[in-house]
Amino acid sequence: MSAGAPILRVAGVSKRFRGLLAVNDVSFAVPEGSICSLIGPNGAGKSSLFNLVTGYLPLTAGAVWFRDRRIDGQGTTAISRMGIARAFQIAKPFPELSVRDNVRIGALFGREGPRDVASVVRDALQLTGLSDHAGQQANSLTVGFLRRLELARAVATRPALLLADEPCAGLNPTETEEIMGILRQIRANGVTVLLVEHDMRAVMGISETIFVLDAGAKIAEGPPDAIARDPRVVAAYLGAPAEG
CA 22 to CA 17: how far, in whole Å? 7
d(CA 85, CA 49): 14
Compute the half-sphere exposure of residue 94: CA atoms within 13 Å on the CB side of its CA. Answer: 12
d(CA 222, CA 190): 22
Q: Give domain 6-238's CATH architecture.
A: 3-Layer(aba) Sandwich (3.40)
Q: Where are the domains of the chain?
A: 6-238
State if pTM tops 0.85. yes
The reported pLDDT for the residue numbered 239 is 61
SS3 for 219?
strand
Q: What is the pLDDT of residues 103-130, one digit of tens each?
A: 999 999 888 887 899 999 999 999 999 9
| Paired residues of 173 in beta bridges | none
Torsion of CA 118, 121, 122, 123, to 10 degrees: 120
pLDDT tens sequence across 59-81: 999 999 999 999 999 999 999 99
Give the number of other CB atoms < 10 A from CB of residue 152: 29
